[in-house]
Structures are given as structure tokens and as C-alpha cells.
Amino acid sequence: MKVTVITAFPEFFRAFFETSIVGRAVERGLLEVDVVDLRDYGEGSYSKIDDYSFGGKGGMVLMAEPLALALEGLKGDPYVVYPSPQGVPLTQETVETLFSKGDVVIVCGHYEGIDERFVSSRVDLELSIGDYVLTGGELPAMVIIDAVSRLVPGVVGKGRSVEEDSFFKGMLDTPHFTRPSSWRGQDVPDVLLSGNDGAIEDWRRREAVRRTLERRPDLLSRSGLLGYMDKNAFLMLPLSEVSSPWEIRSIARSCGFYGVSKLLIPVEDRDTRDSVRSLILREDLGALVKLFPSVARALRWVSDKEKAVPYMVGFNGFNSSGLSWLEIKREILKVSRPVIFMAGGDEKDCDVTMRPVAGDDRSRSALPVQNAISVVLDRFFGWR
């Protein structure tokens, strides 16, 4: 990963590139860094890099020409980032995008900002690190570089994976503790000292969920639930909802892709059940699909397997009086029960019904069940 910074204040970066994790990444050659002094490209004997803002009240703006010359002095074709309060918000996804570019240059503004003609013609991405105004782009540049460098393999220590970070699957991180186990009257939660890996994992998961719901419920829209639920998830598909056996194959594969435990299909008629069973065998879907003579039998099977009564979420494409998918997502995290998504079928079997995936427009016909299922699976089990 290569990062170049163009700045009028290169001294800001000396300690940053020599210290701690970023410093070690630079030293080990995992992160290649370069700092370009904008004043080297300034105009005249005073190396002028800024001038008064046109139509402004005396504020200074960095001029386009020194910035362009500094950029043109670089080799290759780097991706150009300009940190500014007017930018799009920096998120973990943006960090991942920047990492994927491989060669990034960050142009630090100062004073009132930089000439808009440089921004519109040379900048690929204007990025804000938050809704507040700093005196320049140097601190945001360091924030961006720090976050990107953590994704470079080998930069964060062994035994510590970025998969465990906050936001990796869209939720906040769990609390952390170190020695001593008792500090000024406050004890570390017993479970963390128990040596029981399963119980520790459960506790961490619940804490991550609790904190996310309490502090950042907005994150829920982009977080995948599997891995944070206490029990498994299932999809129930009444046979009346599908028009061809091939739909079953495709829906089963979507379930497998998103980590849904089983596709449950209630089929009352024995002959039909036999023909669906032979399709399942032929298509090697046995691990993904299970047939039942009735909805009730399927529910009993899940209850026995999960040792808890399933939470039933119905969606049928027409019911506009149901809950929004985000509210249901929150409920699922609270109830600590296995979840069955019921595509179509009888609403009275369900704990909640979900509003149609495309909104409440009754003038449109419902989305085909296969498509609606994919959207639902992605909203609940996909992340970001």
C-alpha cells in the first residue's frame, strides 16, 4: 500500500510515520509513505501557495497551480483524496475502498480550503472525518492513513484480527479488560475469567449487540445478524408460493449463501412431497432443505432442535400494516429466539409481519417471491 501526502506542513507527519503501529508498518515496508512539501511548488521567491478568497471576507485559499504541480510531480496514477468538512463521511467501507486502490494521495487543505477548480478537476474523493471543522487536512489525513494501514496484511499484530473490530460486520465492538481483575472496587465480568470459550464468545456477542442497540441503532441497517443472534435462522416456504421446482433450488442456494440454517418446506400432499424430495436429492440440496407435512410440524422440529420457541416473521408482499424490516431486525436481536422467516403463508402463524420489501405501493403487484426472499435475506444477513 502506498500513501503520499501533499501538505504545507510536512513536519506534522514526521512523528506519525515513525511511531507505534503505523511506524512499524512503514519500517517493515508494509506501508510505503511519502510526504510532499507544497511549498516546493509555490510561486515566486516567497513560494506563495495561497491567496485571498474571491468574494470572501479576507480568508486565504490554497491556489490550484502549486497543488497541480505537486500532484503532477508524482509517479503513477494515484487515487486523489481531499479531506474536507464538505466531503462524504468516512466510514469503514470508504477505508476498504481506499485500501483497494493501492496507491492513494491525500491533499491537505488549510485556511478556507483549496481552489474548487483543483477539486473538481483533480480530486477523486472529498472525504469528511466528521461534522466539525478542523484547521486543516493534516489530522484527517492521519486518521485516514491509520485506518487504511490496519487493513494491510501483517500491520495489526498476530492473534488480533480486523474481523473482530468494530464495524467489521457493522456492529460496535465488545468491551475489553486487562489485569488486574479487580481495580479500585470494580471487577472484570466473571465470564471473562471462566476459561469457557463458548460462554465468553456469547457474552462478547451480547455486549456488542447491547451497545449497538443502545448507542448506534442506526448501524443496524447495515449489519448482518448472523453471528450476533443467540439461535439460528430459518426460512419457511409454503409450496404454494413457488411456481416451478427450479425456484426451490435457487432459493435454497440463497439460504446457504446467507448462512440460513435450513429452508423449511411444508407440503401436505404425500405425492407432491415425494416429487419435491426427489428434486432435492437430484440437486444435492439435502443439507439445505427439509420437508414437512405441515407448518406445525416444521415449527415443532425447529423448537426441538433449537430448544426455544421460534420467532416467526411473515412477509407476503401485500401487508402494509406490518413492521418495518429495521424494527424487526432490532426485535430479533432482543428476543434471543431462533427466527423463522415465513415467505407468504398464513399471517396468524407469525409473531410479526413485515411490510413489503418495495414499500407500500398497492398499485404495484408484489415482487416475485424468489426476488423478495433475496432482498429480505440481504437486509437481515448481508452486511454493508
List, by residue number, the catalytic residues. Answer: 85, 112, 150, 165
Q: How far is the CB of 16 from ligand ADE (least distance, A)?
A: 16
Cell of 375: 432482498
Judged by CB under 6 A, the chain residues 112 through 131 that form the site for ligand ADE are 128-130
Angle at which helix 245-258 crosses helix 270-282, to 10 degrees, equals 60
Cα separation of 246 and 32, whole Å?
Answer: 51
Cα separation of 83 and 85, whole Å?
Answer: 7
- Does 133 appear as a known binding residue? yes
Cα separation of 292 and 131, whole Å?
Answer: 54
Q: Where are the alpha helices (DSSP H) in 259-324?
A: 270-282, 295-306
Give yes or no for residue 83 binding ligand ADE (CB under 6 A): yes
Cα separation of 148 and 103, whole Å?
Answer: 11
Number of residues that bind ligand ADE (CB under 6 A): 11
Q: Which lies closer to ligand ADE via its Cβ, residue 78 or residue 109?
A: 109
Tell me, what amino acid is at 11? E
Give yes or no for residue 140 binding ligand ADE (CB under 6 A): yes
Give yes or no for residue 7 binding ligand ADE (CB under 6 A): no
Q: Which lies closer to ligand ADE via its Cβ, residue 84 or residue 261?
A: 84
Give yes or no for residue 134 binding ligand ADE (CB under 6 A): yes
Q: Are 83 and 141 spatial neighbours (Cβ–Cβ below 8 Å)?
A: yes
Q: What DSSP state is assigned to residue 356? A: -
Q: How far is the CB of 137 from ligand ADE (least distance, A)?
A: 5
Give yes or no for residue 85 binding ligand ADE (CB under 6 A): yes
**Near ligand ADE by CB under 6 A: residue from 42, 66, 78, 137:** 137
Give yes or no for residue 359 binding ligand ADE (CB under 6 A): no
Give yes or no for residue 350 binding ligand ADE (CB under 6 A): no
Nearest to 230 by CA among 332, 97, 128: 332
Give yes or no for residue 89 binding ligand ADE (CB under 6 A): no
Q: What are phi and psi of 356, to 5 degrees?
A: -55, 150
Q: Which lies closer to ligand ADE via its Cβ, residue 78 or residue 140?
A: 140
- Does 38 appear as a known binding residue? no
CB atoms within 10 A of CB 259: 15
Give the residues lining the site for ligand ADE (CB under 6 A): 83-85, 128-130, 132-134, 137, 140
| Residues tagged in the binding site annotation | 109, 129-134
| Residues tagged in the binding site annotation for S-adenosyl-L-methionine | 109, 129-134
